[in-house]
Amino acid sequence: MGSSSSRLNILETASKLFQVQGYHATGLNQIIKESGSPKGSIYYHFPEGKEQIALEAVEYTGKIVREQLNKTLTASADPVESLQSVVQHLVDHLGHPEDVEGVPIGLIALETCSMSEKLRKACSEAFTSWQRLFADKLIENGFKQDRARELGILLQCTLEGALTVSVTQDNSEPLRILKEQIPLIIKP
């Protein structure tokens, strides 16, 4: 196969590690150990080294989250209800870093945005794509385009922040408060 399964395996392992530990705390040695691939394979598949792995991991995570968000947002027609399910999923997965939904790029974004323009852009584009999903859901439900775009950005920021604070405080309360306030925020 052109894109071997060993390559994908490295990417999946790296993505999880970068999400939880961040860029600098995740060593190639750890990626090697946890993925089972040897160092030689890493530099064969990713000749530009760690930065290339991180770049592709951000793109990969962006896509996974996009798909998961899309599924949750289309499960209910009502935008308030479906956005509340998105938050609820985050609550349910607190402390279970696999299968996260909505914010898992915040750490690597903050770590790398002042260090690598390539990585900053990749994180920025992931954020934008999520914002657009929220906006589209609102447009479908009769919101004007500009207003939907504003709210899409606000929602993505708020999710990002509430997840950060919930993880730091080891407490789902911030996310639960956000969930309850969604109807307040989603106003035409």
Partner DNA sequence: GTCTATATTAAGATAGAC
Partner DNA sequence: GTCTATCTTAATATAGAC
Q: Provide the binding-site residues for a second copy, judged by CB under 8 A.
A: 20-25, 106-107, 109-111, 113-115, 120, 123-124, 127-128, 150, 153-154, 156-162, 164-165, 167-170, 173-174, 177-178, 180-181, 184-185, 187
User: H helices of the chain, where?
Assistant: 5-21, 28-35, 39-45, 50-75, 79-92, 106-112, 117-140, 145-169, 173-185
Q: Does 145 bind DNA (CB under 7 A)?
A: no
- Whole-number minimum distance, CB 8 to a second copy, in Å? 25
Q: Which is nearer to a second copy, 7 or 135 (CB)?
A: 135
- Residue environment code for 60-79, b if the CB has 16+ CB neighbours within 10 A, otherwise e: bbbebbbebbeebbeeeeeb
Check residue 115 for interaction with DNA (CB under 7 A): no
- Does 118 help bind DNA (rule: CB under 7 A)? no
Per-residue contact flags (x/-) with DNA for residues 31 to 70, judged by CB under 7 A: ------xxxxx-xxx---xxx-------------------
Question: Of 114, 111, 113, 91, which Cα lies nearest the Cα of 101?
Answer: 91
C-beta of residue 78 within 8 angstroms of C-beta of residue 43: no
43 binds, among DNA, a second copy, none (CB under 5 to 8 A by kind): DNA
